[in-house]
Structures are given as C-alpha cells and as structure tokens.
Chains A and B, each alone.
Chain A
Amino acid sequence: SQTIHQWPATLVQPVGSPLSLECTVEGTSNPNLYWYRQAAGRGLQLLFYSVGIGQISSEVPQNLSASRPQDRQFILSSKKLLLSDSGFYLCAWSKGRGNYGYTFGSGTRLTVV
C-alpha cells in the first residue's frame, strides 16, 4: 500500500533562518507531488507541484522553493524565512491526471518567530 511521510511535525524557526521540509512517498512510482499551505484562518493554497524528477511548477510567487531530487522525494525550502511563512504545510501525492484522488501527509506546523 502507498504511504506518505512528512517531517518534522512541528517547527519553530527565527526570521531569516533557512527552511527544509521533506516529504517522501512509498509504494508507488512516478507520483505527482504537491506542497500546500494553510495559513491561519485560511484555505489550502497550492504552492508547488511536480510531475517528475526535477520538474517543478510554482503556483504563487513567494519566499519558498521546491525541489524533487528523487522520484518519491519532494522538498520545500527557503533561504530566509519571513514571519508570513508561518502556517501548516501539507505534502500530497496523486497518480496523475484522472480520478485517482490525492493523499495528504500529516502536515508540518511551521511557526516563524
């Protein structure tokens, strides 16, 4: 069966510090991978998605970047965090375009102080 792992679960970082959140998927190959963010009192905003190794699409201009160094690994990064980067970050995967559903990780609560 397929599983998705996301870590860390919580993170408190000072403004200006770097960020690296990691997501891995098991039990499938060539998944589509996604990073979402839920800011306080807001909806689920798509940040990045990837349909293959090294292929990253950015949905919104921001202080963050994403990379996919391996087929089932998706990394969210920042060189210098801003207060506005605080939020709940979710990784997700799907089999691709079609009614396959999207499976989400358990999320990372990032607080920038």
Chain B
Amino acid sequence: DQQVKQNSPSLSVQEGRISILNCDYTNSMFDYFLWYKKYPAEGPTFLISISSIKDKNEDGRFTVFLNKSAKHLSLHIVPSQPGDSAVYFCGGATNKLIFGTGTLLAVQP
C-alpha cells in the first residue's frame, strides 16, 4: 500500500520559470507533510512543511499547497534556478515519515 505517491518521475523546467511538483496521498491520518531535496549519495535536506490543518505555506521561493479534499499537495518553486536540480521527495508524517518515490527536477539554464 503506497500511502504517498509522486506520479511524475521527472520534470524539466527552464531557469526563471515555475516548477510545480505534485504529490498525492491516501492516509488521512497524516499530521503534516514535508518536502525534501536530495542529491545523489547524500542525505535528504528539509525544504518546507505544511500542517494538515493549513492549505498553504510559503518560505522564500518555495510554496507548498495542500488540498485535503483531493488528498493532494504540490510544491511550487519560483523562480527556478539551476541549483534546484535534484530529486524532490514529498512525505506524510504521523509518528513516522512515509515518502513518495521522488521526482527528478532538472532546471535548464
């Protein structure tokens, strides 16, 4: 049972444009959701989170939107930069964090 799904394995965006990464979940018990960025052979680094009682959280260039009725969240990166190129994981958390399969974002200069 895959509780968190990222259906797009990859995304390519031009520098300066918006990157939108999507995530769907099935477990309505998640307290909050997190987005992590990961480079090969490194541990994931935290980007942004959102409580399940919120619908939006913004931090600089990163904004996460949560649609509880649709069990869907998205991460918007504006403007996208080449340094944003990495694998992005969304996760749902209770007392443990369950990740999706990740989306590889490539930002083209």
Interface residues of A (CB under 8 A from B): 6, 32, 34, 36, 42-46, 49, 51, 57, 59, 88, 90, 92, 94, 96-99, 101-107, 109
Contacts and interface: CB of A to CB of B under 8 A. Distances in A.
B44 A44 contact: yes
A106 B34 CA distance: 19
B43 interface: yes
Contacts of B51: 99
B32 A99 contact: yes
A44 B103 CA distance: 12
Interface string B73-109: 0000000000000000101011111111110000000
B19 interface: no
A98 B102 CA distance: 23
Nearest to B52: A99
A51 B38 CA distance: 25
Interface of B: 6, 31-32, 34, 36, 38, 41-46, 49, 51, 89, 91, 93-102
B41 A94 contact: no
B98 A46 contact: yes
8 contacts: A32-B95, A44-B99, A45-B99, A88-B41, A94-B97, A101-B49, A102-B34, A107-B43
A72 B103 CA distance: 32
Given A101-B34, A102-B97, A107-B41, 9 more contacts: A43-B102, A45-B99, A46-B99, A59-B96, A88-B41, A94-B97, A97-B95, A99-B49, A104-B44
A56 to B, nearest CB: 12
A106 B46 contact: no
